[in-house]
Structure 1
């Protein structure tokens, strides 16, 4: 165990540890890598050993398209659709890690259409389901959830930034530039050409782009971290 008193900052430079402190950090980091310690958080993962990649799956962001493409081109998915698992960091140090994200408002609209309007995925009672046909009502219900809790929050509503190991992701693609970004993934893992369009995208820019101020404000509040981390604008028309 480390001596806690080793961790001090330098006189006159509060941003850097002393040489002894930096050496201890390096020692601990090396020991951690050799031990194959697990990731501190759990993720939804697909892993291919033959093509050496780890895919952090983010629900409602082209997951069916990506999986279908790999499956159709004989890309073995040794860990296929694992849910909420931790993984040994050192074991995958030389694998490509990637994920895809999308505008939080579009993703929320897509989840509402798919899981509420088209299916009663959340098993609302009939009277509640009727109210949820109004997207603002569904947004108010969602706002009562802890969207950073995994497990604990449905994967279709969880913060995208919580579904990705942001400290270890090599390539972060966007649904808005899917063809280009997924082509790069395929090139780097040695898979065939990219498909032409995501299968589970509601429509370019979402089906309900003329949204109410209330909905825009609710989504901006719920997904503030996603907007900040991924650089989307909650005020985009």
Structure 2
């Protein structure tokens, strides 16, 4: 007798789901039984590779393309999702939305231009807002929204000031949505990674910086995408049905002693 998986019968959408943390989240949700829409903005090859990896593991997935941070991005995303989901022969609707897509801006206050500021907020904050707004009619009662934030919102870290501001705004969105959507049984939480070994952070190629970031964790290592994906899958599960409006530290205890 096969034991049911925690996400059997559920459909998930992971924005930025083809690389880094998003790829790990897509693979974990699929391994736990979900049909996963792997969203990508530019790298179709990575998205298709992620889909093939999921299928090779016995899971189900499909790629969805939409550039975020441009006018109409949320409508474009949902139109692509609806069409691709129909092509899978699946029932319309969504159970799990993971707002993971984001860009970094490694610049201090004096170096941030208005164009920089507008771009990072458009992708990291505006896009998730309207993705949720346009997607609520698709999200089933009892569904899950998980916003990927950052542990940087809990410490002063001037080299990424504008980026961190986008994540702080996302955390308020989490609180407000949790309150508004609670009557529908929908939980909304933020999961906050710390220093994680992905391609999004080019400074990790510098040994001294890599060692410094690793030592920020009480475990004295960098996080890996699977560390974050495991937490996201739990928060998306029925086991976390009584957890909503929360900021969940998934940083390996980064900066606990500072």
TM-score, structure 2 as length reference: 0.31
Looking at CA atoms only, which structure, 1 or 2, has the larger radius of gyration?
A: 1
Higher relative contact order (CA 8 A, sep 6+): 1
